Copies of this chain bind each other. A is one copy, B any other.
Amino acid sequence: MTADEPSTPRPAAPTSEQEWLAAYDPRAYAPIAVTVDVVALTLRHGGLHVLLVERGAPPYQGCWALPGGFLRAGQEGLDEAAARELAEETGLLGGSEVEAALCRVHLEQLGTYGAPDRDPRMHVVSVAYLAFAPDLPDPQAGTDAAAAAWHPVADLDLGHRPHGRPRAAGAPADTHGGGVGGPTGQSSRTLAFDHARILADGLDRVRAKLEYSPLATAFLPHDFTIPDLRAVYEAVWDEKLHPGNFHRKVLSVPGFVESTGATTARGGARGGPRARTYHAGDAGLLHPALLRPTRESEIRGDEIH
């Protein structure tokens, strides 16, 4: 149920009277905040980058964190809040061509994190969103986004999770208190709060979705070439793919890409013929899927959540 009024006390669940009252009317007791955080990913110079903001106040002062903010109670839904935060934090509100770029942004819910001690100040439930975008300009100074910047994902410390597919795709687990109740060793590449975990979950999600959804095109401008598309897969998966097989495979998936009939104006930077251009097709699911190169070690022993 959504906001339940327990009609009877709960004999099976031993709870104190105070807790019962808290459950009865949250306004009387529960100090829970709801925020929306965004894992915004883009491709720059062949590498995956994530948008981070520098924290100007404790806790985790000076650390980088995911952009986000409070949900405006009674005024907006979660999707709207995520879109708003992303627009604010990238400073992408005024420019027209930038707005066009924002329209191409793909936003989806990633998961919700609500361990009681993930923020030392109070119990904060964060709904995380994942955003994919074509190469966006740097956040503009003079706005909220002054402290925001794109960071290469490879440079960040994500808690020694080896590259690969860590868990069966699906829901990220709730972060049970990992002992981190406040700022600890905060190097420049350590993220605030449990944001390293959220980012890692987001990366898992992207890597998995590239297999069976045409999402990779969201990282590219409207028209692109097959080698461009391959570059997306190679950057996200951190794997070299066979150019010939990739090309043939992409074209064999119905609805993935559609030819524009044109080619690029110039050949590759280091030679080679001009490539044909395509734009995203109307398929919502890739069938057959573009499977990642199999790593035998990653099949067994994985947890499921």
A103 lies within 8 A of chain B by Cβ: no
- Residue from A34, A66, A215 with most neighbouring chain B CB atoms (10 Å): A34
Does A205 interact with chain B (Cβ within 8 Å)?
A: yes
Rounded to whole Å, the gap between the CB of A23 and the closest CB of chain B is 5
B109 in contact with A2 (CB, 8 Å): no
Q: Does A91 contact B (CB under 8 A)?
A: yes
User: A32 touching B2 by the CB < 8 A rule?
Assistant: no
- Which A residues, 93 to 125, have Cβ-Cβ distances below 8 Å to chain B? 93-94, 106, 108-116, 118-119, 121-125
Q: How far is the CB of A171 from chain B (nearest CB, A)?
A: 4
| A194 nearest CB across to chain B (Å) | 8
Inter-chain contact B287/A301, CB cutoff 8 Å? no
Is A47's CB within 8 Å of the partner chain B? no
Cβ < 8 Å to B, chain A residues 23-54: 23, 26-27, 29-35, 37, 53
> Does residue A261 face the partner (Cβ distance < 8 Å to B)?
no
Q: Which of A153-161, A172-180, A227-235 contacts B (4 or more CB under 8 A)?
A: A172-180
Whether A133 is near chain B, meaning CB under 8 Å from some CB there, is: no
Tally A residues with Cβ within 8 Å of B.
113
Q: Which residues of B sit under 8 angstroms from A74, Cβ to Cβ?
A: 31, 116, 122-123
| Oligomer: number of copies | 2
Interface status of A193 (Cβ within 8 A of chain B): yes
Is A13 an interface position by the 8 A CB rule? yes
Q: Is the CB of A205 within 8 A of B170?
A: yes
Which residues on the B side are within 8 Å of A119 (C-beta)?
2-3
| Complex interface bits, A64-78 against B, C-beta within 8 A gives 1, otherwise 0 | 011111111111111
A1 part of interface (Cβ distance < 8 Å): yes
The answer to whether A116 and B174 touch (CB under 8 A), given A12-B94, A70-B30, is no
- Taking a contact as CB atoms closer than 8 A, the residue among B13, B33, B112 that contacts A112 in the complex is B112
Question: Roughly how many angstroms separate A173 CA and B10 CA in the complex, as a whole number?
Answer: 34
Which of A206-214, A244-252, A263-271 interfaces with chain B?
A: A206-214
Task: Tell me the complex Cα distance, A143–B122, Å.
Answer: 32
User: In the bound complex, how far is the Cα of B209 from the Cα of A195, in angstroms?
Assistant: 26
Find chain B residues with CB under 8 A from A187 CB.
Answer: none
Residues B209 and A300 in contact, CB atoms below 8 Å apart: no
Given A30-B33, A124-B2, A144-B6: A255 touches B299 (CB 8 Å cut-off): yes
Query: With contacts A10-B144, A13-B84 known, what are 7 further pairs, Cβ within 8 A?
Result: A1-B35, A2-B119, A11-B142, A11-B143, A74-B123, A170-B213, A284-B304
Sampled A-B contacts (26; CB under 8 Å)? A1-B66, A1-B192, A2-B65, A2-B193, A3-B33, A4-B35, A4-B68, A4-B70, A8-B144, A10-B143, A29-B73, A30-B71, A34-B125, A74-B122, A77-B114, A77-B115, A80-B174, A108-B170, A109-B112, A112-B127, A168-B212, A170-B205, A215-B304, A255-B299, A283-B302, A284-B299
